[in-house]
Amino acid sequence: MSNKSDLLAIGHTAFDYIIQINEFPQPNTSTAINKMRTLFGGAAANVAVVASNLGLKSSLISAVGSDFIRSEYEDKLKNLNIDTEDMIVIEDEKTPTAFVLTDSNNDQISYFYWGAASQFKNSEPPQKAIDSVNAVHLATGDPGFNRRSGEVAHKLGKLISFDPGQDLHMYSKNELEDVLKICNILFGNHHEIKRIQETLKMTIDDLINFGPDIVVTTHGKDGSSICTDEEIKIDAIIRDTVDPTGAGDSYRAGFLNAYVKGEDLETCGKFASSVASFIVEAEGCQTNVPDENMVRDRMEKMWK
């Protein structure tokens, strides 16, 4: 791998409605909303924003609506020097919108309006953008577009990480296998990794033999595990949690930031855990994003 540290994130850019409630309502009932804010999100954009803040030159490809153009969100990405030149703009659609409900136990339910992102399936893979970076992160998004983009990245010899996230249910068994065969790193929370194993009837070792060299599983407050030919367990850095939304995306950005810079896997995990610990301290995915010095300082205090 060259010394360039460029990362292209492919997938959703979204407006997020972050909603706090005491408990989820049963069908045909309602519940009071304690707090609601409109923030910036989308898994691919979260990764690009956090990676850029950490000093990684980042690019982003998402399908967005005309409401994104000249918005505060577009201005923010440009101010972070995130390359959005190849964004897919659908004039007569809305930018994807997420409604994320978090209860008093920090459990979450999300509702997602695809909007412009429904046009991913009709779009060509961004070959020029892929060719200009070292690493491609396939985040939540259309399975077909991710598969086609991954195939281009694979042919060009790029590092490929894959995180289907909450869109995992949209992948057919064949689509999932196609992406896993060509990715280098598979990310998922413990629910998602378990579902992938059940769908493909594979153990973690089977997954690694099948495709990715590295399987990274996040377990929330119970930390994370990094599996290759061995398993490395990483503790979470426990902080007062205001909102867990975006912690997983920030973990991925932190891990990739350290990995493309040549850090060993344990350091990548610790760096990622430290990054995620900042995100949960404030509402929203991009509200409390640290820089590299802040992350390394917290790492040193945690792992003296």
pLDDT, position 240: 80
Quick check: is 18 in a domain?
Answer: no
Q: What total number of domains does the chain contain?
A: 1
In-domain check, residue 28 = no
Are the CB atoms for 81 and 52 separated by under 8 Å?
A: yes
Q: Is residue 35 part of a domain?
A: no
Predicted pLDDT of residue 284? 67
What's the distance, CA 134 to chain centroid? 17
Distance, CA of 54 to CA of 95 (rounded, Å): 26
| DSSP E strand boundaries for 24-140 | 33-41, 58-61, 63-65, 88-90, 97-102, 108-113, 135-138
Tell me, yes or no, whether 290 lies in a domain.
yes
Give the residue numbers marked as catalytic.
249
H or E segment and range at residue 23: none
Domain membership flag for residue 231:
yes
Identify the CA nearest to 222 among candidates 204, 202, 244, 199.
244
For 153, the domain range is 7-13+41-95+115-302
4, two tokens = 């360039």
Mean pLDDT, 10 residues at a time, over the chain (304 residues)?
68 91 96 92 95 94 95 95 94 92 89 93 93 96 96 97 94 96 97 96 96 96 95 92 82 96 96 93 79 94 88
Specify the 3-state DSSP secondary structure of 168: helix
Give domain status of residue 29, yes or no: no
In a domain, 31, yes or no: no
Query: Alpha-carbon dihedral of residues 187, 227, 214, 237, nearest 10 degrees?
Result: 50
Helical packing angle, 247-260 and 265-279, nearest 10°: 150
Rounded to the nearest 10°, the torsion over CA 169, 208, 161, 14 is: 20
Supply the pLDDT for residue 1. Answer: 39
The CATH number of residue 252's host domain is 3.40.1190.20
Nearest Cα to Cα of residue 124 among 84, 68, 86, 178:
86
Alpha-carbon distance 72 to 77, whole Å?
A: 9
Domain assignment of residue 274, yes or no: yes
